[in-house]
Amino acid sequence: MAQEMRDWSELQHDLLVLIGRRFNLIEDYLNFGTVCKSWHSAATKNNFNSELPRVPWLMLPEEEEEDKSDSCCRKFFSLYNGMILKKRILKASGKRCMECMGWLITVGKDEGEASLLHPCSVRITTEDFYEHETGYPFTFFRKAVLSASPSYTSDFVLMVIEGGMRFLIDYSGRVLFCDVAGPEPTKRSHIIAQLPFDCRDRLGHPYIVESLGSLFIVVRHGVQICKVKDDCDRMRIPLTYIVSENQEELRDGEELRYGTESFRVFKVDLAAAGKVTETRELGERAFFLGANASLSVQASQFPGIKPNHVYFTDDFFESYAAFVEGGGLDMGVFNLADGSIQMHYEGVSLSRVCPPTWVTPTLC
């Protein structure tokens, strides 16, 4: 007799929960929940190990939608399996998005109003906004960082770097520390380390990364606009430069382009008075750098992620704002061992407001 086929949708709920809790990758867990109605009911936030580290998704810029009711949807690219996911994000249309712990801090393009999204919206105000001159209100917030995820606690601090000339690593290469629990967290900062060069001289773009309890400073070179020849393969498609009155004339075969050339990584020893040592070896770690997110993951835990590599997005507004198409081309994967750069996303996705950016996938 032919063996009777089992209806997988009739598996007991408790068994489905046990199966769901064995998934480590959120992409697999989301696929698990799409099998059928009963499996979807078991694929809840509480049944997934949300404490594990995550490889961020690449959130692509919004696209022109024929169906206007679909205008709030954004696409996400997964490095793990190359899958494109589509998610509806209310009140993010036409806004710059910065990410922290799976939440989005959005800034309006024209009015500069900021909101904290995922899954609710909280309006953020600032006293200094109208006291600073800027032609781009949505760039007034340089970075925004949460001390804890609002998904799990209401006891969190949101720290925002405001204005065009404020950094946690300044142009002289000093690494600054702010005590958010102190009496004057926004007015006092302390120097904890000094890079061995001046960022202004080397035209570097620095990032702070925490990895397994250690502090790293990563300096990115090559993001500024420069003249290149036609045979230079720093960009895959031509960009339309917004001509200014004081622009110098280009010679035959020259174009104005920008693109990352290299990264330098420095480890900060806080126990040794902030001693800084350059390194080209991250072991099994991979760094993800972008407009707001700077994080580290253990590559061995995630298929397809390369150890000792830096994954980066196009985040230097001062360069890509000079082109009609905006930013999105200066993305890739930098090999710290040999200095080579490869692509992590083969498509072209451009925007002057919110180019592709890393977003840590979380369940709500």
List, for residues 46-80, the tens digit of each pLDDT value. 777 766 667 888 989 887 655 555 556 788 888 87
Q: If you average pLDDT over every residue of the chain, what do you get?
A: 78
For residue 81 the two structure tokens come to 């399996």
At CA 8, angle to CA 6 and CA 10, rounded to 5?
95
pLDDT band at 157 (very low <50, low <70, confident <90, very high): confident
> Where are the domains positioned within the chain?
9-52, 168-355
Q: How many residues does the chain have?
A: 364
Decide: pTM greater than 0.85: no
Q: What tens digit of pLDDT does each residue of 129-151 get?
A: 444 445 566 667 777 888 887 77
Interstrand relation of 341-342 and 309-312 (parallel, antiparallel or unpaired): unpaired
**Predicted confidence band of residue 285 (pLDDT cuts 50, 70, 90):** very high
On the question of pLDDT at 28 being above 50, the answer is yes
Give the distance from CA 276 to its chain's centroid: 25
* 308 pLDDT above the threshold of 90: yes
Q: Is the pLDDT of residue 248 over 80?
A: no
Mean pLDDT highest for which of 101-110, 229-238, 338-347?
338-347
